């Protein structure tokens, strides 16, 4: 029986204390037909040597050594050479359950889906998590349903990330991660879902997300406003107004928040001169759309902020309600 080749792409940068744990969880997968691509993104520690060491131990491992270009660039380098029928991403400080690939492949083939998704758990320790038993009943989602989950507070992290999933390779034919951006997954996930025929989701923690203070996400403070704007414009071009209605209100809050940060913190590099004008232009455009697509009360509320954006600064100081900023 033919077993499809699975390409696992692992971007590697400054993860020497965690890399062996990650790689051990991959090479010990119950599913063996793997192409394991380790992309050393110019790591300054001993991570490149560890990658080379594991390549001598397992002939399924391919190592790419490249100049530092960031997470997106590293993932793209793996995508450019992968040969698998399916693709999965694993971050090099995380690790996966032993049947991670086998389970994702089974539910994908069983449901005839293009993407399979497992849930994840978080860890702040070095404990090697092994899931011994879990419910294997899965849910089949149409693309619109999966996209809606990107704004579900209980599922957004599960659905938006590149890791924790198995993709048909052809989905990445014309899609790459944006270089030099944070929240890089938010620029690709919705496009992958939109281009799929169906998605399957298994609510079992097959992936372990390791929370460390020096990680990109650990240091992340600013909102993903640029990604949200691109998402908004993408669905507007597609005339997917049902999807737009789901997140346009939150997008308005995100833009208002970003604009207020310009006013309050002009010394912050991401919000220097020029950003204020750009954000205000986008803000007015989106708020206008929101006003058109909202109830009478909401229209009055958003119109007020459109006319007097500086009021949000005062609102943030006196309001006990904290607005979500991704």
Closest CA to 17 of 66, 57, 50: 50
pLDDT at residue 138 is higher than 60: yes
Q: What is the pLDDT of residue 323?
A: 40
Q: Global pTM? A: 0.83
Contact 51, 62 (CB under 8 A): no
pLDDT single digits (tens) 163-196: 999 999 999 999 999 998 878 898 999 999 999 9
Would you mind telling me the total number of residues written for the chain in this entry?
326
Q: What is the residue whose two structure tokens read 């058109």?
A: 292
CATH architecture of 6-219: Alpha-Beta Complex (3.90)
Q: Name the E strands within 180-296.
A: 199-210
Q: What is the pLDDT of residue 283?
A: 59
Q: What is the pLDDT of residue 22?
A: 97
pLDDT band, residue 308 (cuts 50/70/90)? low
pLDDT, greater one: 1 or 19: 19
Q: What is the pLDDT of residue 228?
A: 76
pLDDT band, residue 257 (cuts 50/70/90)? low
Taking residues 44-65, what's their average pLDDT? 98
């Amino acid at each position: 029986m033919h077993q499809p080749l699975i390409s696992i792409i692992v971007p590697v940068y400054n993860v020497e204390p965690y890399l062996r744990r990650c790689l051990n969880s991959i090479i010990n997968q119950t599913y063996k037909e793997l192409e394991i691509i380790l992309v050393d993104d110019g790591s300054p520690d001993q991570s490149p040597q560890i990658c080379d060491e594991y390549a001598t131990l397992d002939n399924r491992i391919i190592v790419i050594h490249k100049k530092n270009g960031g997470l997106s660039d590293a993932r793209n380098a793996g995508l450019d050479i992968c040969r698998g029928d399916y693709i999965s991403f694993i971050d090099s400080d995380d690790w996966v359950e032993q049947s991670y690939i086998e389970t994702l492949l089974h539910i994908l083939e069983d449901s005839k889906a293009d993407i399979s998704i497992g849930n994840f758990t978080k860890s702040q320790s070095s404990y090697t998590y092994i899931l011994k038993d879990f419910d294997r009943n899965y849910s089949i989602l149409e693309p619109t349903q999966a996209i809606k989950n990107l704004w579900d507070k209980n599922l957004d992290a599960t659905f938006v990330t590149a890791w924790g999933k198995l993709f048909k390779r052809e989905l990445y034919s014309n899609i790459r991660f944006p270089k030099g951006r944070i929240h890089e997954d938010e620029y690709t996930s919705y496009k992958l879902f939109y281009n799929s025929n169906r998605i399957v989701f298994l609510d079992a923690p097959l992936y372990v997300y390791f929370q460390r203070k020096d990680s990109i996400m650990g240091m992340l403070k600013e909102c993903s406003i640029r990604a949200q704007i691109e998402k908004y414009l993408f669905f507007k071009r597609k005339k997917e107004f049902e999807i737009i209605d789901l997140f346009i209100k939150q997008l308005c809050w995100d833009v208002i928040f970003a604009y207020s940060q310009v006013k309050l913190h002009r010394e912050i590099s991401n919000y220097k001169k020029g950003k204020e004008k750009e954000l205000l232009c986008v803000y007015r455009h989106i708020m206008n759309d929101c006003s058109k697509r909202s109830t009478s009360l909401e229209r009055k509320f958003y119109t007020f902020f459109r006319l007097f954006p500086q009021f949000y600064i005062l609102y943030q100081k006196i309001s006990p309600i904290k607005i979500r900023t991704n």
